[in-house]
């Protein structure tokens, strides 16, 4: 009898321990699908183009100017035929051959609206998908009417479009609905990932999640059930069932939150790296200088586009205490070295292998290029990417260093 009692006591203790260790779960539902307007891609439509290939219903407006091009179709690897139609005295519209039948029906016309300034027009194209919750994949398009560039013909038209979209959902966290964001895959079998892409949580309760680099409300994951912070709670999403419309979130330990949060005015923690010459170095070496930390790669078109601005900034401000630290994300260091030599860029560079954890886990870089400007005291001065790219970089440094 005594052994039997001991057996029940031990069994109860083990069972109680298992229950105590089970993570707390929270449940929610998907509420919407939103185009990712932070990551946009430019496309050139050529004109004047003939629309004879396409049949319009209703008919194409008389004397309309037509430009022809393609939209990136996030549902597949192929682009989709698109016409920009500008009728006289009417708002332009996109004619998108959604079903590739060379016919443009009323549902394939997407009329632009004007921004407050009137300089940029915008519309949303709805690409059909088969999904229990969503019937269409949204593509947000901007048209820069009147834009001129030396590399564009006078009859060309420049547009910018989204390629990605985010699923939004509300999860009940201790009796309060909290907005979450997940990457949406619009392929033949649409899905929502819990381990790959851009994730977010509305920490401050303002009803939005800014998809901006270094935002504390978004985090990029690569084969990882990313942990997000909500106040003093640490959470990750276990599963998303589109058929049942159910989101399952679990509580995580504080020690599992590996993200380093950057804020303007706060010191950036020190880190070590190996430069392209094989030398061990650290961030602390650059104390006393204005330092631009540049996440980049030769493979990155936008990085190469902005490189002349880096060179101009370096030449103009280096003698006044400005330095650049390149964090190179090329698989082959030789590719970066060759590019830097060709462009006579002499600032230090970290090798990819030495900053892998820093890029993928500590700061969860979601796009390249990304940059951080530090002051001589090691504190963050600028995180706004618009102020650190292209021509704006020189203006930003001028306003900071010339104070």
Structural domain ending residue among the three candidates 128, 162, 196: 162
Give the per-residue pLDDT at 212: 85
Q: Is residue 10 part of a domain?
A: no
Instruction: Give mean pLDDT, residues 300-319.
Output: 94
pLDDT (mean) for 224-252: 96
User: What kind and span of H or E run contains 190?
Assistant: none
Q: How confident is the model at residue 403 (pLDDT cuts 50, 70, 90)?
A: low
Domain count, the chain: 3
Together in a domain, 176 and 158 = no
Are 183 and 329 contained in the same domain? no
Q: Is pLDDT of 52 > 70? A: yes
User: Alpha carbon of 361 to those of 223, 270, 366, 385: distances in Å?
Assistant: 11, 15, 11, 20
The structure's pTM equals: 0.84
Q: pLDDT at position 21, please?
A: 67
Averaged pLDDT, 213-233: 93
Same domain, 127 and 198: no
Task: Give me the pLDDT at residue 1, please.
Answer: 46
Asked if residue 211 and residue 290 are part of one domain, the reply reads no
- Is the same domain home to 329 and 228? no
Q: Is the pLDDT of residue 116 over 90?
A: no
Indicate if 114 and 188 belong to the same structural domain. no
Residue 395: CATH number of its domain: 3.40.30.10
Last residue of a domain, one of 134, 162, 190: 162
Q: Which structural domain, as residue segments, surrounds residue 372?
A: 272-401
Element (DSSP H or E) covering residue 306: helix 301-317
Total length of the chain: 403
Mean pLDDT is lowest, of 18-27, 77-86, 389-398, for 18-27
- 72 and 149: one domain? yes
Closest C-alpha among 39, 33, 80 to residue 163 = 39
**Has residue 262 been placed in a domain?**
no
Please tell me which of 11-25, 111-125, 246-260 the model is most confident about, judged by mean pLDDT: 246-260
- Asked if 148 and 239 sit in the same domain, the reply is no
pLDDT of residue 20: 53
**pLDDT confidence of residue 188:** 77
Angle value at C-alpha 158, between 153 and 164, nearest 5 degrees: 150
Which one has a higher pLDDT value, 222 or 293? 293
pLDDT computed for residue 4 by the predictor = 44
Q: Do 276 and 300 sit in the same domain of this protein? A: yes
Distance of CA 391 to the CA centre of its chain: 21
With residues binned 3-state (H G I as helix, E B as strand, rest as coil), the percentages for the chain, rounded to 5, are 20, 40, 40
Mean pLDDT calculated for residue range 151-178: 94
Please give the average per-residue pLDDT across 160-178, as a whole number: 96
For the residues 76-82, what does the mean pLDDT come to? Answer: 91
338/193 same-domain check = no
Domain boundary residue, one of 118, 137, 162: 162
Within a domain: residue 149? Answer: yes
Residue 102 reports pLDDT greater than 50: yes
**242 and 195 both lie in a single domain:** yes
Q: Once rounded to an integer, what is the mean pLDDT over residues 280-293?
A: 98
What number is the average pLDDT over the span 27-39? 93
Same domain assignment for residues 203 and 299: no
């Amino acid at each position: 009898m005594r052994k039997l009692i001991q057996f029940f006591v031990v069994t109860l203790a083990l069972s109680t321990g298992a229950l105590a260790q089970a993570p707390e779960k929270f449940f929610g539902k998907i509420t919407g699908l939103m185009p990712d307007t932070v990551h946009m891609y430019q496309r050139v439509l050529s004109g004047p183009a003939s629309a004879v290939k396409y049949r319009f219903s209703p008919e194409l407006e008389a004397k309309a100017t037509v430009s022809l091009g393609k939209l990136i179709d996030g549902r597949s690897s192929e682009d989709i035929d698109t016409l920009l139609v500008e009728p006289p005295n009417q708002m332009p519209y996109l004619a998108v051959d959604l079903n590739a039948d060379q016919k443009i029906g009323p549902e394939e016309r997407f009329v632009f609206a004007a921004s407050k300034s009137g300089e940029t027009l915008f519309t949303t194209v709805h690409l059909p998908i088969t999904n229990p919750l969503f019937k269409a994949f949204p593509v947000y398009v901007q048209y820069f009417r009147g834009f001129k560039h030396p590399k564009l013909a006078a009859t060309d038209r420049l547009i910018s479009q989204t390629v990605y979209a985010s699923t939004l959902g509300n999860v009940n966290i201790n009796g309060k609905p909290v907005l979450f964001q997940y990457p949406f895959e619009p392929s033949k079998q649409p899905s929502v990932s819990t381990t790959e892409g851009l994730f977010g949580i509305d920490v401050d309760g303002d009803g939005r999640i800014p998809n901006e680099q270094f935002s504390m409300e978004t985090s990029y994951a690569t084969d990882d059930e990313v942990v997000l912070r909500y106040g003093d709670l640490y959470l990750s999403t276990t599963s998303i069932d589109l058929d049942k419309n159910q989101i399952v979130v679990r509580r995580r330990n504080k020690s599992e939150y590996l993200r380093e949060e950057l804020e303007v005015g706060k010191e950036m923690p020190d880190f070590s790296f190996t430069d392209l010459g094989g030398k061990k170095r650290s961030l602390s070496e650059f104390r006393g200088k204005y330092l631009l930390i540049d996440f980049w790669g030769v493979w990155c078109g936008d990085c190469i586009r902005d490189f002349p601005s880096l060179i101009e900034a370096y030449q103009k401000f280096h003698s006044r205490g400005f330095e650049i630290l390149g964090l190179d994300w090329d698989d082959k260091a030789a590719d970066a070295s060759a590019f830097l030599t060709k462009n006579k860029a002499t600032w230090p560079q970290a090798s990819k292998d030495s900053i892998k954890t820093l890029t993928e886990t500590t700061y969860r870089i979601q796009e390249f290029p990304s940059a951080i400007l530090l002051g001589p005291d090691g504190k963050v001065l600028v995180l706004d990417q618009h102020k650190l790219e292209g021509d704006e970089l020189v203006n930003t440094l001028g306003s900071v260093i010339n104070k």
